Amino acid sequence: MNEKERARRPGGRSARVAAQVHQAVTELISERGYGNFTVGEVAARAGVADSSIYRRWGSLETLLSEVALTRLNTQSPMPDTGTLSGDLRTYAAQVAREITGPDGPAVLHLAIALSGSGERGRQAGESLRAERTRQLQGMLDRARDRGEPALDAFDVLDHILAPMYIRVLFGTELTPEYVDGLVDRML
């Protein structure tokens, strides 16, 4: 196996470094909030050189956006239950669990902070929103293709996700009944 093949192999050192860096970012956001740490502090916590972070991600904002998107994709993947109602209920319940979990509020604050911070931050936040909206629209397109109502991703964001995010940001509990009620009103 030559050097290029080894570098492209999934897993291995590269995957471990990415996981360590992602974990360091999540911990620092939980402890200090967005904007209160540097690439050097992430690198020190992850046990890697800061040049490794710059080489791989280019900027702290790009790294933060990737951390948020990776976490969302891992913790709240787009479901495919076979029905729009099932997909929306499953997705809403996943998001509710994620944003109320131990690191959930920190990741939610990160996504909000990225969208309002400088040009790089806005670009990173826009990239995060665009990718997640694309994934959500794919789930809605499958439902439409099955002959179910044609919903828009922004309607789901406005009527299901936004109320959950607001409740978490203001410290209000998200009950399963509340989350199901959001889906019921949307449908």
pLDDT for 131: 80
pLDDT for 117: 59
pLDDT for 6: 45
82-114 residue pLDDT tens = 999 999 999 999 989 888 887 677 666 666 666
Angle at 90 between CA 88 and CA 93, to 5 degrees: 105
Model confidence, pTM: 0.72
Cα separation, 21 vs 143, whole angstroms: 37
